[in-house]
Amino acid sequence: MKTPCPIAVAAAAALFALGGCEADRSGDCPTITGVTDASVATVFRSGATTDPANVLYTVEITSVSGTCDMDKRETTADSSVDISFRATRAPSGAEAHYKVPYFVAVTDGSTRVMAKRTYTIEIDFAPGQTTVEQDDTVGSAHLNVAKGKHPYDYQVLVGLQLTKDQLEYNRQGSHYGS
């Protein structure tokens, strides 16, 4: 049985399951965290100003979890990432479908991004529905640890792939009702 712990994403971008690994019970796995500025995306109606009355929908990352297996002899970690999203919109009689890009990246524990991959989650609102919760899983990911490093020296970052305007909107605190 795998032990829940923070997870790694492939620095080498190799996606496959490792056989014969031991579950990490010592806290050696990389840490995982959401990027605060990229945890919420507010999408406005096309051509509209960034006024709350013009919001088409908002999506946020509500949780990130995963598992990690390690092979200490090979200095590798194999992981799976589970991400939960919540999307909201104003009441509407129409159904709506949106594709929302998000990313999973691994850093060397500083600001240096070693690998980044973009994924897409599909959000579907039924007629009259104002809130949708959706989960996505980034399957097995493999991390080769550099010589002299440990898996816990790495950090996994998860966030929504935002436009420059969306990022600025978040940094101004507008999505928090400021």
20 has a pLDDT exceeding 70: no
- CA–CA dist 68, 16 (Å, integer): 13
In this prediction, residue 8 has a pLDDT band, given cuts at 50, 70 and 90, of very low
As a whole-number percent, the residues of the chain with pLDDT over 70 amount to 80
Determine the residue type at 172.
Answer: Q
Residue 141 has a pLDDT of 65
Q: What is the pTM of this model?
A: 0.78
Mean pLDDT of the chain: 79
Using CA atoms, how far apart are residues 22 and 9, in angstroms rounded to an integer?
18
Dump pLDDT digits (tens) for 28-57: 777 777 888 899 999 999 998 888 899 999
| More confident call, 32 vs 87 | 87
Residue in 5, 132, 112 with CA at minimum distance from that of residue 60:
132
Q: Is residue 3 scored above 50 in pLDDT? A: no
- Rounded CA separation 31/8 (Å): 8
Residue 66's identity, in one-letter code, is G
pLDDT at 26 (0 to 100):
56
> What tens digit of pLDDT does each residue of 101-143 get?
999 988 887 778 888 899 999 999 999 999 999 999 997 667 7
